[in-house]
Amino acid sequence: MDSASEDCSDNSQRPDSQKDQRVYFVPHRHSDSKNAMKDDKGFSATDSDMAEVYPLQLRLSVQKETNLATFGIRISKKILLELQVYGLSDSIRCRDGKKDEMPTFSGSSSLKMNGTVDSASSDCMHTNSLTFSLGPSEAGSLGLTGLQNLGNTCFMNSALQCLTHTPKLVDYFLEDYGREINHDNPLGMNGEIALAFGDLLRKLWAPGASPVAPRLFKSKLARFAPQFSGFNQHDSQELLAFLLDGLHEDLNRVKCKPYIEAKDGDCRPDEEVADEYWHNHLARNDSVIVDVCQGQYKSTLVCPVCRKVSVTFDPFMYLSLPLPSTTMRTMTLTVASSSGGMSQLSPYTISVPKNGRFEDLTRALSIACSLGADETLLVAEVYNNCIIRFLEDPTDSLSLIRDADKLVAYRSMKDNEDAPLVVFINQRMEEQDVHGKLTPNLKAFGIPVVARLCNDINGSDLRNLYLKWFHPIQKSIDETLENCVMSKKTEEVAEMEEVTTPNLDPNANGLDTPSDGGMDFYLTDEMGKNSKISMSEPLAINGESRLLRVLVCWSEQQIKKYDTQLSISLPEVFKSGFLAKRPPESVSLYKCLEAFIQEEPLGPEDMWYCPGCKKHRQASKKLDLWRLPEILVIHLKRFQYSRYMKNKLETYVDFPVDNLDLSAYITHGNGNSYHYTLYAVSNHYGSMGGGHYTAFVHHGGDQWYEFDDSRVYPISKEKIKSSAAYVLFYRRIFEVLT
């Protein structure tokens, strides 16, 4: 602008140290009002224009070794000013020769992250408090300092680099933060974590700093968090969670926390209840971490029995978002057709909520197998060719079903759901080696047959009902005769070679061997007591017992008539090697947010005590974003832990870099826009057992840097997104209202 040009154009009258300096006034936008005027003192505007004026940005470009104290800048206090100083580099040294001290500011100005100078409200702003000078060819590299790896500490270095490049935290710890340390907080660490972090941050932002060895910080960390002691690899997000909480408690401005009892919503408006919860939270928690990093979400619990609704509003420091692949579970079941027949066994693979209920499984399976409106499914778990339980309660958790289980869903008509149920267990005679001697023994084989009975039925009806199920797999007469001929020849060869076959015990397991070349049927109970069923006598069905268990003993002749190979094996619910062969998945960050706020039942280990039922219930839970912080930390839940396995998901998450818009995801937005920009990423490469952590950090413009322990180097913006992204750091973009 003209006045700036006039003030800086005459280099001939300046000392050599001040030549070739330029101060550029770059306004974002200003009013076109005719009342805006300029004079030799700067810019001024009328009060009516202030709503139209955007912050005035001054960029000071340093081209030669210069003492910034020689610059004096005066601006009317009616103008919003942002001064950015570029040209700070590693070669900067303090005037007094001390190397490991941060540049100090006094008076009304202070150094902010990326060089911003914040001024108090005075008509004139002076930068004469700067106490260091600049050298030639210095390219603004403050903060580009690595951290030495002390032995598997890359997880710590990654998290620290992201935090020490969080704008408001950098400003806070470069100032006199010591006055806010709370030494008396029993939940804190006597201020030692805050002091260690602040000292480390100042070293990382010191001019001319070489890679820093964070030994003091690690020793303090190990003292207060023994889980991070030693030199094993750990989780950067777990460290981050501990550090944010520790910094908050060490810097908590509340010296004496009042006791406040949480109140139920009692059908009051959500806005009133949320504000009450937030006010109560701030009464006990007030720190720079709360100011910058904490938000609030709404939690709604609903009892599945009495439908009691409980609403609370809880603070959060970061969001842990599930990857959609972790919210769903793939399950394979075998469906037995209602028309009967082992040949009608069909496997179906479905997707159900990981923490869903059994009703979710039956709903998905009904769709997959095109279940008729007049049909129903009865699901059973089969183990060792026997049914060990029926899955009938729709509220049971799917977590009760293990991956190695084998499930069969039997189709039947709805009109006979109340009829007695019969379970046929197929058995055949096999030889068993007992102490070196072959002994005949009846053993279950195939898939159990399930059917509904009429009240008046005899043994012959029961037999026909059972054989109807096997009729579709009965071999043709020619094939059966051929097998008989081959069997006859085998017997003749055995007789010629004098091969002896063991005699079968006719009373093995208390059951007779079928003597007529057919099948024998036995009623059995839970105690193992068996009674043979007569074909001509009616079955006595007890009115109280709606389940009959029948053992069907097959003769070798009968087995040859049917293709029983079809019923030998069942697929497991889930094969562990299945996902390993699939290509890496891709999902947007917005899908992860939707999975986070989706209603789902609590796990069996997280049962909720319902105040209405006075019992623990597996309630459904829904989360909604209510209040968002200035700094939003998003943790992608890549690591899965269970009793039997540990796994890392390599899902590629497509996250916005320049504009994360959460306006549609916040329940209490009041029409405001919630836009965020990415400024740091903690990455994890490799598997669960090993792997390596790095950090990506934004450093102005489109320039990004990778912090790989002590190595720091620029990277292209295109490389920011990868399947290694683990923790994302966003800062909110505040728009100026006009």
CA angle, 46 then 49 then 51, to 5° = 135
Between the alpha carbon of residue 286 and those of residues 221, 234, 411, the distances in Å are 23, 29, 61
* Predicted pLDDT at 107: 30
Q: Which helix (H) or strand (E) holds 564?
A: none
Candidate ranges 186-195, 334-343, 460-469, 499-508; pick with highest mean pLDDT: 186-195
Residue 147 bridge partners (DSSP): 212
Q: Is the pLDDT reported for residue 423 higher than 80? A: yes
Question: Averaged over 109-123, what is the pLDDT?
Answer: 38
* Predicted pLDDT at 544: 60
Q: Is the pLDDT reported for residue 83 higher than 80? A: no
CA angle, 243 then 244 then 250, to 5° = 85
Cα distance between residue 229 and residue 221, in whole Å: 7
Compute how many other C-beta atoms are within 10 angstroms of the C-beta atom of residue 459.
17
Question: Averaged over 56-67, what is the pLDDT?
Answer: 42
Nearest to 704 by CA among 690, 673, 674, 683: 683
* Predicted pLDDT at 623: 93
Q: Is the pLDDT reported for residue 584 higher than 90? A: no
Give the β-pairing of 530-532 and 519-524. antiparallel
Q: Whose structure tokens read 């009703």?
A: 359
Question: Averaged over 696-719, what is the pLDDT?
Answer: 93
Q: Is the pLDDT reported for residue 678 higher than 90? A: yes
* Predicted pLDDT at 263: 75
Nearest to 362 by CA among 305, 323, 322, 401: 401
Confidence of residue 557 (pLDDT cuts 50, 70, 90): confident
Q: Is the pLDDT reported for residue 111 higher than 70? A: no
Long-range CB contacts for residues 430-434, cutoff 8 Å, separation at least 24: 431/502
Question: Averaged over 692-712, what is the pLDDT?
Answer: 93
Least confident of 115-124, 614-623, 684-693: 115-124
Q: Is the dihedral of CA 651, 657, 659, 665 positive or negative?
A: positive
Residues 350-360: tens digit of each pLDDT: 988 887 889 98
* Predicted pLDDT at 478: 41
Cα distance between residue 347 and residue 295, in whole Å: 46
Share of the chain above pLDDT 70, in %: 69
Question: Averaged over 248-260, what is the pLDDT?
Answer: 92
Query: Higher-confidence residue: 605 or 298?
Result: 298
Question: Averaged over 284-294, what is the pLDDT?
Answer: 95
Cα distance between residue 696 and residue 728, in whole Å: 10
Cα distance between residue 648 and residue 202, in whole Å: 35
Residues 310-333: tens digit of each pLDDT: 999 999 999 999 988 767 788 999
Q: Is the pLDDT reported for residue 287 higher than 90? A: yes
Nearest to 557 by CA among 501, 483, 490, 618: 483
Confidence of residue 567 (pLDDT cuts 50, 70, 90): low
Candidate ranges 14-18, 242-246, 450-454, 538-542; pick with highest mean pLDDT: 242-246
Residues 517-526: tens digit of each pLDDT: 578 888 887 7
* Predicted pLDDT at 719: 93
Confidence of residue 698 (pLDDT cuts 50, 70, 90): very high
Question: Averaged over 251-262, what is the pLDDT?
Answer: 89
Query: What residues have CB less than 8 Å from 63, skipping those under 6 apart?
Result: 20, 21, 87
Nearest to 450 by CA among 387, 394, 362: 387
Q: Is the pLDDT reported for residue 590 higher than 80? A: yes
Cα distance between residue 84 and residue 81, in whole Å: 10
Between the alpha carbon of residue 19 and those of residues 12, 73, 187, the distances in Å are 8, 17, 56
* Predicted pLDDT at 473: 53
Provide the edge-to-edge strand list for the sheet that holds 56-61.
22-27, 56-61, 81-86, 116-119, 109-111
Burial class of residue 548 in the structure, from the number of CB atoms within 10 Å of its CB (0-12 exposed, 13-18 middle, 19+ buried): buried
Question: Averaged over 215-223, what is the pLDDT?
Answer: 93
Query: Higher-confidence residue: 105 or 295?
Result: 295
- Quote the longest CA-to-CA distance of the chain: 126
Confidence of residue 660 (pLDDT cuts 50, 70, 90): very high
Q: What is the DSSP code string of 207-260? A: TTPPPB--HHHHHHHHHH-GGG-TT----HHHHHHHHHHHHHHHT-S-SSPPP-
Question: Averaged over 441-453, what is the pLDDT?
Answer: 85
Question: Averaged over 394-411, what is the pLDDT?
Answer: 89
* Predicted pLDDT at 545: 61
Query: Higher-confidence residue: 247 or 37?
Result: 247
* Predicted pLDDT at 186: 92
Q: Is the pLDDT reported for residue 433 higher than 60? A: yes
Nearest to 707 by CA among 88, 198, 145: 145
Residue 424 bridge partners (DSSP): 449, 550
Confidence of residue 563 (pLDDT cuts 50, 70, 90): low
Question: Averaged over 716-734, what is the pLDDT?
Answer: 93
Nearest to 714 by CA among 724, 725, 703: 703
Residues 142-195: tens digit of each pLDDT: 889 999 999 899 999 999 999 999 999 999 999 999 999 999 999 999 999 999
Compute how many other C-beta atoms are within 10 angstroms of the C-beta atom of residue 159.
27
Candidate ranges 297-301, 396-400, 563-567, 687-691; pick with highest mean pLDDT: 297-301
Q: Is the pLDDT reported for residue 393 higher than 50? A: yes
Residues 10-47: tens digit of each pLDDT: 443 434 433 334 343 434 333 333 333 333 333 333 33
Q: Is the pLDDT reported for residue 96 higher than 90? A: no
* Predicted pLDDT at 512: 53
Question: Averaged over 702-722, what is the pLDDT?
Answer: 93
Nearest to 67 by CA among 104, 18, 115: 18
Q: Is the pLDDT reported for residue 2 higher than 70? A: no
* Predicted pLDDT at 205: 93
Cα distance between residue 396 and residue 583, in whole Å: 33
Q: Token pair of 657, please?
A: 């870099």
Query: Alpha-carbon dihedral of residues 39, 42, 47, 48, nearest 10 degrees?
Result: 70
* Predicted pLDDT at 293: 95
Positions marked active-site: 154, 692
Residue 316 bridge partners (DSSP): 295
Q: Token pair of 535, please?
A: 């074909």
User: What is the residue-averaged pLDDT of the chain?
Assistant: 74
Question: Averaged over 664-687, what is the pLDDT?
Answer: 88
Between the alpha carbon of residue 593 and those of residues 128, 434, 489, the distances in Å are 48, 60, 70
Question: Averaged over 422-426, what is the pLDDT?
Answer: 89
Q: Which helix (H) or strand (E) holds 291?
A: helix 288-293
Residues 366-386: tens digit of each pLDDT: 998 888 888 999 999 999 889
Q: Is the pLDDT reported for residue 89 higher than 80? A: no
